[in-house]
């Protein structure tokens, strides 16, 4: 009995991992855009096998901590299949365990990538800064976080 109790207590003391991300498909992308219409939204596409992605994930986590109301969605879009628990562990470690997260349902689906961004061929990282008015600013490669903060500040000023 004691070993079971000890094991249960140890499990309870471990930090909770983020819930496995939900798949993002074409209808899901349309629903995401609709649900976030009228508010500045950042959608960041990353992958487990993408070195620059893993380097910058903690910076996204720091930005989310600095701006708790930030509408940030992280989408694991690697063409190498990843286990949901591995994705959740990486997001937790980066401070993104509570962020809204998705996985690209089929990273080889050209129509889905085209619907997300007509010029996107699957390169990572990709960040879409979607303004209140629906205007999309595309950032391919590592993000310039000073520029992201300026964009967020402009979105806030435009709303006043």
Per-residue pLDDT of the chain (160 residues; tens, 9 = 90+): 555 444 444 444 444 455 567 789 889 999 999 999 999 999 999 999 999 999 999 999 999 999 989 999 999 999 888 889 999 999 999 999 999 999 999 988 999 999 999 999 999 999 999 999 999 999 999 999 999 999 999 998 876 6
Whole-angstrom distance, CA of residue 75 vs CA of residue 127: 10
The answer to whether residue 8 sits within a structural domain is: no
The answer to whether residue 13 sits within a structural domain is: no
CATH number at residue 109: 3.40.30.10
The answer to whether residue 72 sits within a structural domain is: yes
- Give the domain extent around 91: 18-159
The pTM assigned to this predicted structure is 0.85
For the chain, the domain total comes to 1
The C-alpha angle 86, 89, 91, rounded to 5 degrees, equals 110
């Amino acid at each position: 009995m004691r070993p079971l109790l000890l094991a249960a207590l140890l499990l309870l003391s471990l930090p909770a991992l983020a819930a496995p991300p939900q798949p993002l498909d074409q209808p899901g992308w349309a629903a995401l855009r609709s649900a976030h219409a009228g508010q500045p939204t950042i959608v960041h596409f990353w992958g487990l096998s993408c070195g620059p992605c893993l380097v910058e994930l903690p910076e996204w986590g720091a930005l989310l901590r600095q701006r708790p109301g930030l509408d940030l969605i992280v989408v694991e879009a690697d063409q190498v299949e990843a286990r949901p628990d591995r994705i959740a562990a990486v997001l937790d470690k980066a401070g993104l365990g509570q962020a809204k997260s998705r996985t690209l349902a089929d990273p080889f689906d050209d129509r889905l990538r085209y619907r997300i961004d007509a010029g996107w061929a699957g390169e990572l990282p990709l960040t879409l800064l979607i303004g209140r008015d629906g205007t999309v600013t595309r950032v391919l490669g590592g993000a310039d976080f000073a520029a992201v903060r300026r964009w967020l500040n402009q979105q806030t000023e435009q709303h006043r």
